[in-house]
């Protein structure tokens, strides 16, 4: 599995922690920045990660900003990205099972490192359930085409 990861300045330190966690799990990591806690614009990093995932260059994506909200809004503008803002493991599981989310968004100012690691672990370990959920994800994909 390959995971593209990115953050803004507010999420930089948590991104670095999660990158190490992924490497310890044996997951391939594509670090797309940012590279320091110096101020940057989060939409740039959300777009880069979401595009890599949407093109199949990464299996999943992880985005971290202060709240996770901006990253999730921006990533969801990329056709083929399904970003989910998560703060606990149940949501991490359900966004994969029911929505086939492929980008996990976390708020560094709102979630602790241990909880973030567990959300990431669950997100990567959970498969899409398909069946009736597949039809619904298809409806979402059709909306991208209708409004692209």
| Residues known to be catalytic | 65, 98
Q: Which helix (H) or strand (E) holds 113?
A: helix 113-125
Side-chain half-sphere exposure of 136, counting CA atoms within 13 A: 13
What secondary structure letter does DSSP report for 57? S
| CA dihedral (125, 106, 11, 115) positive or negative | negative
């Amino acid at each position: 599995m390959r995971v593209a990861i990115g953050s803004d300045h507010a999420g930089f330190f948590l991104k670095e922690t999660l990158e190490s966690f992924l490497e310890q799990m044996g997951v391939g990591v594509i670090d797309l920045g940012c590279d320091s806690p110096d101020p940057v614009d989060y939409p740039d990093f959300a777009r880069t990660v979401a595009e890599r995932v949407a093109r199949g260059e990464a299996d999943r994506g992880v985005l971290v900003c202060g709240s996770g909200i901006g990253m999730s809004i921006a990533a969801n503008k990329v056709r083929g990205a399904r970003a989910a803002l998560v703060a606990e493991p149940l949501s991490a599981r359900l966004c994969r099972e029911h929505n086939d989310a492929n980008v996990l968004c976390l708020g560094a100012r709102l979630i602790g490192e241990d909880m973030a690691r567990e959300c990431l672990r669950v997100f990567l370990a959970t498969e899409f359930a398909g069946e009736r959920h597949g039809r619904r994800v298809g409806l979402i994909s059709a909306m991208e085409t209708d409004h692209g």
